[in-house]
Structure 1
Amino acid sequence: MLRHLLLLSLLMTFNFCVTLGGRARYKQKQMDNALKPYVGRVDAASLCELMKCYSPVGSQCQVVNNGNIPGPKCICPTTCPQQGDPVCSVLGKTYINDCLLHKEACRKKRRIGKAHNGPCLEVGVCSEQEFCQFPYRLLDWFLLISRMGKRFTSAYTPSCITHTARVQLAQSWFLLLDRNKNGKLSMKDLKKLHYKKIPLEHCAKKFFKSCDSNRNNKVTVSEWISCLVDRSEQWFNEYMSVKMGSRKLCDQRSTIDTQNGPV
Structure 2
Amino acid sequence: MRSIWLLLCLGLLALSSQVRAEEDVENLLPDIDLDNIEDFDENDEEFLQLLEQKAKNQDLERENELAQKLADVQHNILNPVVEIDPCETMHCGAGRICQMNKDKPECICIPECPEESEQRRHVCTNKNETWPSDCAVYQQRCWCDIKAPGCLNPENAHLHIDYYGACHESRVCDGEDLKDFPRRMRDWLFNVMRDLAERDELTEHYMQMELEAETNNTRRWANAAVWKWCDLDGDTDRSVSRHELFPIRAPLVSLEHCIAPFLESCDSNNDHRITLVEWGACLELDADDLNERCDDVQKAVPHLLG
Give the TM-score taking structure 2 as reference length: 0.43
Give the number of the structure whose residues are more often helix, by fraction: 2
Q: Which structure carries more strand by proportion?
A: 1
Q: Comparing both chains, which one has the higher relative contact order based on Cα–Cα distances under 8 Å and sequence gaps of 6 or more? A: 1
Query: Scaled by the length of structure 1, what TM-score is found?
Result: 0.49
